[in-house]
A and B are shown apart, each in its own frame.
Chain A
Amino acid sequence: MALLARLASLVVLLVLWQAVSVYADVRTLPSPAAVAAFIGREAQKGDLFFNVGITLMRVAISFVIAMSLGCLLGIVLGRSKWADQILDTPLLVILNTPALVITVLAYVWLGLTETAAIVAVALNKLPNVAVIMREGARGLDPGLEEMAASYRFDRRTWIGNVLIPQLQPFVIAAARSGISLAWKIVLVVELIGRPNGVGFAINYYFQLFDVTAVIGYSLVFMTVMLAIDTLILQPIDAHVRRWR
């Protein structure tokens, strides 16, 4: 039923888009059919898979880096008052630095390289992860801590059965909000200083004023990211919450 509702809204959206584009009949609003045709051509040439693949790669690497470092940092901040006092301000500074500034600085300092691109994306996303994880680590149930202490849980048992299960919902929240953030930033980073990827392609077609291509690329990539969320992250989320 829920799936049906989703599909219906999608169909309505497509029909509306088609109708408006036919009615307006301007170059800046291509019809869904034109966009689909572009996607087909680009896929046949192989450019589509190459660009989407390389962007996905960048998203994946920077996502893993930002998640692992951000989780560690967040747990330390949440568990140690001292660390929190020292690192809170720098964290706020990075959190409030525009993605564009971090990207430009990364390219200036590290050169127009793959490393700079990855660092820029990871650095943009890391503070978000750390802040979410800090909340999680702060909110550990003191009753369970006492229980674990009174039953003398060893470290491994505590981490696996007391700490991690309490942090899991926060990790999932950070991952789901983080992955959409990461791919948006990856596009900016590619647009500024990479010779390939979806961001590069969009910039290229923008200069040609090819709106069909711009919409085509973003649609494909959005679909990929949606699929990752529905097929990977949501099932993990459901698994983690199975006891509720």
Chain B
Amino acid sequence: MLMSAAGVKSAAGADAILDRPAVAPLLRVAIARKVYRRAGTEPVEAVRDLAFEVGPGEITCLIGPSGAGKTTTLRILLGLDAEYEGTVLPDPAEAGIAMVFQDPRLLPWRSVEQNVRLALPRPHRDKNLDALFEALGLAPWRSRYPGALSLGMQRRVSLARALAQEPRILVLDEPFVSLDDAAAAGLRGLVVAAVARFGTSVLMVTHNVDEAIEIADRLLLLSGRPATLVAEVPLDTPRAERSRSWAEATRRGLAGRFPNVIAD
């Protein structure tokens, strides 16, 4: 498996290999096995031999079929699930990870602003968030309750809550599903801008290949259950230079090489 990943790397771009090992990764995930056991049912193996790293300032997309154990992997690296074989380094509590969940998971009884502030450690609750709210277009909504906002706006609040942490790694679980194209594109742009501005690394789980090709520096392709790493694909074309035809060609190329993960 490591062989195949290395093979893809060298095929895609030589300089990426040269400078990558020089920077220490922010997070190393190595899950040997994760099995769900529940009394009265067959044990289900969700993840097997999944290892990857998140480097500084890069956008990594985990792509795999629905129900493949992507969310399980995220729960493990967030420290929400400790029952697995393997290691996550550094410890999730110290890794500086902030999570944007698939559903916004806001406290409906607290205002937008309170939702963002309450997730901060107590000493930082009072910090100035004007620039953040302004950047995410949330300034007029600060005192509203989340219930008054559309799903797209709620997702922005969820993103604001994560960015307010000034995380080293921003983890996003299918952040753009069930949004209309305009709202999804807007939110995608905000994530990319945040990476550019704060140097935050992003680890994003998605099953939308086009979306991943548009913004990722690196794709991690996962197989179906149990989730296992099929390939690691760097995308070295700078984001600004990615055209529609480039995206289509990339997608076709990937579909040819990994027909089980990516449909044509």
A: which residues have CB within 8 A of B? 143-144, 146-147, 149-154, 157, 161-162, 165, 243-244
Contacts and interface: CB of A to CB of B under 8 A. Distances in A.
Interface in B161-201: 161, 165
B118 A144 contact: no
Given A151-B119, A152-B93, A143 B105 contact: yes
B119 A244 contact: no
Given A150-B99, A153-B119, A154-B122, A243 B109 contact: yes
A64 B244 CA distance: 68
B101 A147 contact: yes
Contacts of A147: 99, 101, 105
Nearest to B92: A150
Nearest to A141: B105
B118 A153 contact: yes
A151 B93 CA distance: 9
A143 B101 contact: yes
Contacts, number: 47
Given A146-B80, A152-B93, A153-B119, A162 B101 contact: no
B107 A162 contact: yes
Nearest to B93: A152
Contact of B109 (A143, A152, A165): A165
**Which 6 A-B residue pairs are closest in the complex by CB-CB distance?**
A151-B119, A147-B105, A165-B109, A243-B145, A243-B109, A150-B99
Contacts of A165: 107, 109-110
Interface of B: 75, 78-80, 93, 97-99, 101, 103, 105, 107-110, 114, 118-119, 121-122, 145, 147, 161, 165
B103 A143 contact: yes
A151 B106 CA distance: 12
A111 B110 CA distance: 50
Q: Which of B80, B103, B107 has the most CB of A within 10 A?
A: B107
A139 to B, nearest CB: 14
Nearest to A160: B118
A12 B114 CA distance: 49
B8 to A, nearest CB: 32
5 contacts: A149-B80, A150-B99, A157-B122, A162-B107, A243-B147
Contact of B80 (A150, A153, A157, A162): A150
A147 B114 CA distance: 15
A162 B106 CA distance: 10
Given A146-B80, A151-B165, A243-B108, 6 more contacts: A143-B103, A151-B98, A151-B99, A152-B121, A243-B109, A243-B147
A202 B118 CA distance: 54
A163 B122 CA distance: 18
A149 B78 CA distance: 9
Given A151-B119, A157-B118, A244 B105 contact: no
A165 B93 CA distance: 26
A27 B143 CA distance: 63
Nearest to A147: B105
A143 to B, nearest CB: 5
Nearest to A244: B147
Nearest to A156: B122
Contacts of A157: 118, 122
A162 B107 CA distance: 7
Q: Which of A147, A161, A162 has the most CB of B within 10 A?
A: A147
A144 B107 contact: yes
Nearest to A168: B109
Nearest to B75: A146
